[in-house]
Amino acid sequence: MHSYQQLFNFTQEVFLHMGCPPEDARLATEVLLDADLRGVDSHGVARLSGYVRLWEAGRINAKPDIQVIHETPSTATIDGDAGLGLVVAPRAMEIAMRKAEEVGSGWVSVSNSNHFGIAGYHAMKALAKDMIGMAMTNASPLVAPTFSTERMLGTNPIAVAVPTNKQPAFVADLATSAAANGKLEILQRKGEQAPSGWIQNAKGEETNDPHELKAGGALLPLGSDRAHGSHKGYALSSVVDIFSAVLSGANYGPWVPPFVSFLPVAENLPGKGIGHFLGAMRIDAFRPADDFKAHMDNWIDTFRKARVKDGEEAVIIPGDPEREISAIRLAQGIPLLTPVVKDLEDLSKKFSIKFDI
Between residue 3 and residue 42, which ones bind a second copy under the rule CB under 8 A?
none
Binding residues for a second copy, rule CB under 8 A, total 87
Q: How many CB atoms lie within 10 A of CB 340?
A: 19
Task: Kindly tell me which residue out of 138, 156, 248, 261 binds a second copy, with binding defined by CB under 8 A.
Answer: 248
75 in contact with a second copy (CB under 8 A): yes
User: Which region holds residue 136: left if phi is over 0, alpha if psi is between -120 and 50, else beta?
Assistant: beta
208 in contact with a second copy (CB under 8 A): no
Q: Which is nearer to a second copy, 10 or 277 (CB)?
A: 277
238 in contact with a second copy (CB under 8 A): yes
Residues in 211-230 at the binding interface with a second copy, rule: CB under 8 A: 222-224, 227-229
In whole angstroms, the minimum distance from the beta carbon of 67 to a second copy comes to 14
- Distances 79 to 5, 53, 96, 190, 250 between C-alpha atoms, Å: 32, 22, 14, 40, 9
Query: Strand order of the sheet with strand 67-72?
Result: 67-72, 75-79, 105-113, 274-282, 131-137, 158-162, 170-174
Residues in 102-131 at the binding interface with a second copy, rule: CB under 8 A: 103-105, 107, 109
**C-beta of residue 77 within 8 angstroms of C-beta of residue 43:** no
In whole angstroms, the minimum distance from the beta carbon of 224 to a second copy comes to 5
Task: Kindly tell me which residue out of 231, 265, 325, 333 binds a second copy, with binding defined by CB under 8 A.
Answer: 231
For the chain, what is the radius of gyration of the CA atoms?
20
Residues in 269-328 at the binding interface with a second copy, rule: CB under 8 A: 270-271, 281-283, 285-287, 291-292, 295-296, 298-299, 302-303, 306-310, 312, 314-316, 318
- d(CA 142, CA 263) in angstroms, rounded, equals 14
351 in contact with a second copy (CB under 8 A): no
**C-beta of residue 199 within 8 angstroms of C-beta of residue 187:** no
